Amino acid sequence: MTTMGIDPAQLSDEDLVRELRQLHATRSDTFFHGSDDALAMHTSRTNELESEYLRRVPDREVDPLRLREGARQR
């Protein structure tokens, strides 16, 4: 599937994070109310941007409470 938008590798770090935040903010609307094509495009673009972010920030901070052990402590 071909997605629209700038190649994630060409985005600045700031633009990449902004695009990811926007996609995450619109996910539920797209999931519940978008067409099948819109959902597929949204998913594809999110995957592209998330993959690029993880490539750039492989050692991102992980909140210990978001791990299984942290959830058990709650």
Instruction: Please report which confidence band the pLDDT of residue 3 belongs to, taking 50, 70 and 90 as the band edges.
Output: low
What's this model's pTM, rounded to 2 decimal places? Answer: 0.83
| Contact in structure between 49 and 16 (CB atoms under 8 Å) | yes
* 9-62 pLDDT, tens digit each: 999 999 999 999 999 999 999 999 999 999 999 999 999 999 999 999 999 999
Q: Which residue has the higher pLDDT, 16 or 74?
A: 16
The answer to whether position 1 is within a domain reads no
CB 19, CB 11: distance < 8 Å: yes
Confidence at residue 64, expressed as pLDDT on a 0 to 100 scale: 87
Q: Look at the chain and report how many structural domains it folds into.
A: 1
Domain assignment of residue 29, given as a range: 8-72
Instruction: Note whether residue 3 is domain-resident.
Output: no
Rounded to a whole number of angstroms, the CA Rg of the chain reads 15
Q: What does the alpha-carbon distance between residue 3 and residue 46 come to, in Å, rounded to a whole number?
A: 10
